[in-house]
Amino acid sequence: MSASNGYGATLAEKVLARASGVERLVPGQIVEGQVDLAMMHEQGAQTVGPFHQMGAQKVWDPDRVVIAIDHWVPASTEGAAVLHRILRKFAAETGLPHFYDVGRHGICHQILAENGWVVPGDLAVGTDSHTNMLGAMGALATGIGPTEMAAVLALGRLWLKVPTTIQVRARGALGKGVTAKDLVLKVLGEVRTTGAQYRAVEYTGPTIQGLSMPERFTICNMTTEMGAKAGMVAPDQTTFDYLRGIAKHPMHPLTPDPDARYERTIDVDVDGMPPMVACPYSPDNVRPLPEVAREHVKVDQVFLGSCTNARIEDLREGAAILKGEKVAKGVRFIVSPASTAIYEQCLHEGLIETFTEAGAVFTNSSCSACFGGNMGILAPEEVCASSSNRNFPGRMGAKEARIYLMSPAAVAATAIRGEITDPREFL
């Protein structure tokens, strides 16, 4: 795709150009993109009514639709049970074969990732704001509402405005006990929760190139907290190796042009960067974790889970710190793997035993405590250290509760001490 206006194209522009069949796009342009993958979870049940109201009877391509039960697993309220029933009925009536029901379930974004449903060059949409996570595949993945999804299910197409792009260019080596979660928290502290509204955030630089796919998932996941339309990493050999043997459809790998025009470039040097923590009541209220640790912030609950940090690598990270230790008296430690497949891997590796012997509760796969609707809801004035992505008032239960966001290593260290703790003390 050659540039006709004197500069090259960003990764987001290239993916949307491919999806819309247009040679060249500019930010602000409205396009009609052909969707490569549509995903729904429980909130997708709100899509069924509009789908029928518009007169649709068939889904445009059943093989490009994935449904995953993930928020209330198993159903913990009558309302949740009704949502599950609506989705099961809809999938049966419209012949949707890719339904991840209770027992083979997982957090929807993890299901898409570990089963190869999103590949480089895709335009992917989902009824969850953290669909951004799949941009780590070199795709443009974004969350949409139920009526938009109804149109996608019927037509396979969606109107989108081409976003401007913020480039995050990272260099340096992450130190011992410092993770991709710390990197994205550092970026969030600078961009803020509204700094990337309806923009794409493209992660580049040698540090990003050195990250594993799970680490890339973490940083793209939390572009949602920046208000971004998408978080993206250009595909490379790491991407292709991850997708080898699991990709569900052909790849269309694209990379940004060397002279792509970015709205803004943020340079991050991670050499010497300490672990970070987002303090109440916003994901962008970011401070160095050692600084917060010196304040001896006591916690009531610790949560290791969510679509941000509940992959097998994250659970190994937490278990390595917890092995041979005990959860502090008066602290509840909840561990929720991101998928049933990860649960089984934890079982085989003995990680479940490590967590439970230390005094943690290891649950089935679920969004769990992250969204304040299922397992681990906080009472007023309680404090939680969490590996999840949001800490707004009321996010995990009572609006008076306080949530601190940090890495899996940091939450495990905090569980042992009973107060916010630098994980490097245990390494």
Rounded Cα distance, 321 and 337, in Å: 17
214-229 confidence digits (pLDDT tens): 999 999 999 999 999 9
Q: 304: which residues sit within 8 A by CB, 6+ positions away?
A: 310, 314, 315, 318, 333, 334, 335, 336, 360, 387, 408, 411, 412
Instruction: Please give the backbone phi and psi of residue 64, each rounded to the nearest 5 degrees, phi first.
Output: -110, 15
User: Residue 205: which of 123, 266, 272 has the closest Cα?
Assistant: 266
pLDDT band at 5 (very low <50, low <70, confident <90, very high): low
**CATH assignment of 11-245+261-267?**
3.30.499.10
Q: Are the CB atoms for 389 and 130 separated by under 8 Å?
A: yes
Neighbour-count burial of 206, counting CB atoms closer than 10 A to its CB (0-12 exposed, 13-18 middle, 19+ buried): exposed
Residue type, 112: L
Q: Is 116 exposed, middle or buried (0-12, 13-18, 19+ CB in 10 A)?
A: middle
In angstroms, what CA-CA distances link 72 with 38, 102, 107, 267, 299? 21, 10, 10, 39, 25
Cis preceding linkage at 253, omega within 30: no
Cα atoms in the 13 Å half-sphere on the side-chain side of 162: 24
Amino acid at 59: V
Domain positions in the chain: 11-245+261-267, 276-426
Q: Do residues 360 and 329 make contact, with C-beta atoms less than 8 angstroms apart?
A: no
State how far the Cα of 238 lies from the Cα of 380, in Å rounded to an integer: 44
- Cβ pair 204, 236 in contact under 8 A: no
Pick the CATH number of 276-426 from 3.40.50.300, 1.10.10.60, 3.40.109.10, 3.30.499.10: 3.30.499.10
- When pLDDT is cut at 50, 70 and 90, the band that residue 6 belongs to is low
Alpha helices in 265-367 (DSSP H): 289-293, 312-322, 340-349, 351-358
Q: What is the pTM of this model?
A: 0.96
What's the confidence (pLDDT) of residue 3?
A: 41
pLDDT tens digit sequence for 75-122: 999 999 999 999 999 999 999 999 999 999 999 999 999 999 999 999
Size of the chain, expressed as the number of residues it contains? 427
Q: How far is CA 271 from CA 139, 179, 419, in A?
A: 29, 12, 27
- Structural element, H or E, at residue 361: strand 361-362
Contact assessment for residue 407 and residue 182, using Cβ atoms and an 8 Å cutoff: yes
| 276-278 and 286-288 beta bridge pairing | antiparallel
Q: Give residue 7's pLDDT.
A: 85
Neighbouring C-beta atoms of residue 214, cutoff 10 Å: 19
Q: What are 44-68's pLDDT values in tens digits?
A: 899 999 999 999 999 999 999 999 9
pLDDT band with cut points at 50, 70 and 90 for residue 137? very high
Check if 11-245+261-267 and 276-426 are the same fold. yes
Half-sphere exposure (CA, 13 Å, Cβ side) for 1? 25
Percent of the chain with pLDDT over 90: 97
Would you call 302 helix, strand, or coil by DSSP? strand
- The pLDDT value recorded for residue 1 is 37
- Positive or negative, the CA dihedral 424, 359, 114, 51 is negative
